[in-house]
Amino acid sequence: MKIVVIGAGIAGASIAAELAGSVSVDLVEMESQPGYHTTGRSAALYAPSYGPQVVRVLTKASLPFFSRLNPTFWLNQVLLPRGAMFIATKGQEASLQRLYADMGPNPDVTLISREEALMRCSILREDYVSGAMLDVGAMDMDVSALHQGYLKRFKLANGSFWPNARVEQIQRKGNGWLVSTASQEFFADVVVNAAGAWASHIGKLVGASPIPLTPKRRTAMTIDSPSGTDSQSFPAVIDCEEDFYLRPDAGRLLISPADETPSVACDAQPEEVDVALTVERIQAAFELKVSKIRSKWAGLRTFAADKQPVCGFDDRVDGFFWFAGQGGYGIQMAPALAQVGSALIREGAIPSAILDMGFNPNQVSPNRFAA
């Protein structure tokens, strides 16, 4: 079987690495740097209590993968302990309770008092926080180590990586596909659409089912840590209604307004209005005076309407596989989702460890939107 994977962000790199070895795979990427778009712009948090239920299952199912890293591919440890604290201010108590109830039984997740929240993050304003939920299972991720590790594993399994190659046309050839860039042609029995914010565009090239996928801009920036605080030991602090977050980041603090502004597929840049909003929300919740932004960026998180990933063969177009809609969780669930995608393509069995956690492939099927 010959497979072309379009897009070498974390989605394309991880599924290509899972497939290579057993089948022939070309991984085709339009940029010179495979992490140039969303994958290289994340906040690098592994948060098993974040996202819809199927995302949380896939995130938890990815954990054993991280602890069994093969040193040939992954030179750095990918996960380091951090913790995540979801906070409520006055009036948000019901949202916090709903969030906690939605977690189901999970020994890592507990409701904590306002006093404990202030103790864990000493720069939280005393008059701001009224309650919190702590997830001790949240961790810092080394996204580059994970992404580069997948690319290395792919190449060692004889996969062929083609950077600077934008797919412009996909045509039927016999029972398969002819995938064309400006200067090359690739034959494929199966095309895997891992094009991130451009996934809908790739779908249109083959006349696939229209999937409601929307790229949404998210802004992030770093600021100096306040002097005289042990800020690098703070957990990630996330507003329970997702209006902002703050987390330690390599000696600084990473902050975001948790924006989700619909966008066309593009090289996203931060908007001044979102930067100003971030500063306003962060200064309201924390004893911080943001006087200098050290770095700022934005990236597109691409969501299906139900915020669940899209992973499976298109019912209407033979040999066309969707691997898109990773939203705000594409790194933390990459190992398990890539195993699922690879099993579906090879008509193999989805690992029982993933199914046993309650995963059902219908939850991520592209055909769930057909009705």
Ligand X SMILES: Cc1cc2nc3c(=O)[nH]c(=O)nc-3n(C[C@H](O)[C@H](O)[C@H](O)COP(=O)(O)OP(=O)(O)OC[C@H]3O[C@@H](n4cnc5c(N)ncnc54)[C@H](O)[C@@H]3O)c2cc1C
The residues that touch ligand X, with contacts defined as CB under 6 A, are 6-12, 28-31, 34, 36-39, 41-45, 166-167, 194-198, 218, 220, 299, 301, 326-332
Report the C-alpha gap between 271 and 219 in whole angstroms: 8
- CA-based nearest residue to 321, from 172, 193, 179: 193
Nearer to ligand X, 28 or 123 (CB): 28
Report the C-alpha gap between 303 and 297 in whole angstroms: 19
Taking the complex as a whole, how short is the minimal distance between the CB of residue 216 and ligand X, in angstroms? 9
Residue type, 59: T
Nearer to ligand X, 56 or 301 (CB): 301
337, 311 contact by CB (below 8 A)? yes
Nearer to ligand X, 8 or 129 (CB): 8
Taking the complex as a whole, how short is the minimal distance between the CB of residue 76 and ligand X, in angstroms? 17
Which alpha helices (H) appear in 166-300, and where do they start and end?
A: 199-206, 272-285
Taking the complex as a whole, how short is the minimal distance between the CB of residue 31 and ligand X, in angstroms? 4
Nearer to ligand X, 162 or 369 (CB): 162
Taking the complex as a whole, how short is the minimal distance between the CB of residue 93 and ligand X, in angstroms? 26
> Residue length, the chain?
371
Residue type, 231: S
131, 111 contact by CB (below 8 A)? yes
Taking the complex as a whole, how short is the minimal distance between the CB of residue 368 and ligand X, in angstroms? 19
Taking the complex as a whole, how short is the minimal distance between the CB of residue 312 and ligand X, in angstroms? 15
Nearer to ligand X, 11 or 131 (CB): 11
286, 123 contact by CB (below 8 A)? yes
State both tokens at 36: 């140039």
CA distances 191 to 118, 165, 178, Å, are 51, 15, 9
Report the C-alpha gap between 3 and 25 in whole angstroms: 5
Pairing of strands 79-81, 139-141: antiparallel
- CA-based nearest residue to 164, from 184, 147, 145, 193: 184
Taking the complex as a whole, how short is the minimal distance between the CB of residue 278 and ligand X, in angstroms? 11
Taking the complex as a whole, how short is the minimal distance between the CB of residue 126 and ligand X, in angstroms? 28
Nearer to ligand X, 131 or 309 (CB): 309
Nearer to ligand X, 225 or 302 (CB): 302
Taking the complex as a whole, how short is the minimal distance between the CB of residue 341 and ligand X, in angstroms? 12
Report the C-alpha gap between 261 and 140 in whole angstroms: 25
71-86 as b/e: b if 16+ CB within 10 A? eebbeeebbeebbbbb
Neighbours of 292 (CB within 10 A): 6
Nearer to ligand X, 86 or 329 (CB): 329
Nearer to ligand X, 124 or 194 (CB): 194
* 261 φ, ψ (degrees, to nearest 5): -90, 120
State both tokens at 281: 């929300």
Helix (H, G, I), strand (E, B) or coil at 123: coil
Nearer to ligand X, 6 or 131 (CB): 6
Taking the complex as a whole, how short is the minimal distance between the CB of residue 334 and ligand X, in angstroms? 8
